Structure 1
Amino acid sequence: MSEKIYEMITNKMIELLEKGAVPWRRPWKVGGAVNWKTQKPYRGINTLLLEPGEYATFKQISEAGGKVKKGEKSEIVVFWTWLDKEDKDGEKVKIPFLRYYKVFEINRQCEGLQSKRKDEIFDHDPIEVASRICEEYQNAPPVRYASGRAFYRPADDIVSVPPICDYSKPEEYYSTLFHEHVHSTGHESRLNRSGITELAAFGDESYSKEELVAEIGAAMLCGVAGIDNSTMENSAAYVASWLRKLKDDKKLVVQAAGQAQKAADHILGISFQDTASE
């Protein structure tokens, strides 16, 4: 039964990719890095540079009557601006110029300032089938809950996800947790997948392929749990963003789906012998 679901999910994923999708996936609604003064979320590479929190420059902190704690180190925020230049023909042109400034997290690194954050907290009941899939994942890594960031850390063999109350839809919480659980199946003590066991830089080919495996595997588990209709478009958008790094090779989706199926089966406790006898 699960193999049919896997096939349906893979085909649906490819269909959505053919239609085009908006990249990046961050379904939780609270807990990211924001500018303390404006409460606007940081975007682009800054979402990876900064831990969740509220950030302000030294000047903003001082002008607001606060102070940076002794010994605290700043973080860097980068942004692009445009400079007016003249080309060789004397025509005015605009050229991009990368700038950065230093910021401090006002709740952890500062004194005398109050948080301006007004995050909405969502009250959800667990989805029984999806919860059971996670609970029955044998030899699973421990799960820690922290707003604003989801990851699997192979060195410590731990999963971290924002808690369910940070999502407007509980289905997206389980999709996120499934994604990180699929990553964890690559640990050397489980399926020993190269995308996890070999050190890879963010965005390189090995990392990108592993992200395809994790998201397609998560989509498959959502299908088994019966919640794929609420998460599929988000999943396809995320897969599309990594496919572009891999030159839009749709064959990679099928290849990744094969590894994703093994990961999903591992989480579900289905052995190769079980699937071969169906």
Structure 2
Amino acid sequence: MNDKNFKALPIQLSNKLIAEIKEGNSLFQQPVKENGMPAFVKPINPITGKGYSAMNALILGMQRHDDPRWMSADAARYAGNWVKKDEKGTLIEFPKTSDIQAIRTAEGKVIKDDAGVTQTKTVEFDKPQRGQAFLFNGSQLKDMQPLDEFIAKQDEGQTLSPNERAAKLIEDSKAVIIHGGQEAYYDKQRDAIFMPEPEHFENETKYFQAAIHQLAHWTGHESRLNRPMEGKFGSLDYAREEMRAAVAAILIGGELKLGHNFGQQAAYMNNFAKILKDEPFEIAKATRDAQKISNLLLGTTQKREQKQAPEAVGFQKGDEIAYQDTTYKVLETYKTKSIKVEDADGTRKVLKPEYGLYKSLLDAKANPREPEMVLEEEQGQSQEQGQNQKIGR
């Protein structure tokens, strides 16, 4: 990746989004493909069963595959699958906090053992660095489990329909929703969502899609995620918030298998394209915020589901939990609820329930997701106060 012509991944993503917006076929504009399938299918690693972080999920979802499964060539090979001839991978990024490097002498010569094997060491980074990988979709791989079998197994135990899951998510949020009128919007001053009556919509799914989009705006209130939401309608600051809500609705719709529908997209596309052109790294910030939105809304539902299923709470011997840049395996569980774990480097430790890592692993087990790259905050964000309290019209 040292090619001078290589562009950073957020720039690549921004350029592709701009091109699709101009063609009118972006995920914001065309939520359903010609074959009737959702334009965005939630990407998943079929080996670990885990999803991908928001920016990576958007990148993979923009490939428009019906198959949700994605793996690296190496992971596929270990699983007994192979990349088909002439298939090209899709680049993603992930945070690396350590690296395995060869041990060298003072003169820089690699040290090998008696068998000629290079000796290595694990180097910890002061700050997370960008790791990159090329992933291949299940449709690009040989000898994969039939897709319908994989999806059927994925859906085992799920008794609720997508619309029922959406209704539960909305109910669990405890957001105030007032029905009536012709507009769907969030009023920050009143901290309430205003929605037309359900019968105003083409069908029940369209109603829930619109409600979830407004619920994404609702998370920005100062008592929740506290995002800047003061831009006037039609302004670039207003469009930034719309971009975050739109991406979050795509992620949540993919999770619930509800799909998404950015009903007022035409009003924002020019501003979306301008932001992505002038500030291509804004997409990294927008997807990071969208991840927080979806985590908050989906987490509320998942935590309630966990209370209804006590067997899903806590650790079990043999659990393998992806967290940060490594995987922790639970070696032992104790009556005190403490656990002994081993990370991918072979480091073992005992964690007590009051430890931060213990709580983080418990949350990662309940809400398995690829960690999001932490980007440095850019200074100078507009703090201008606007008069319009309607958001997401």
TM-score of the superposed pair, with normalisation by structure 1: 0.49
Greater relative contact order structure (CA < 8 Å, 6+ sep) = 1
Q: Tell me the TM-score normalized by structure 2.
A: 0.36
Higher helix share: 1
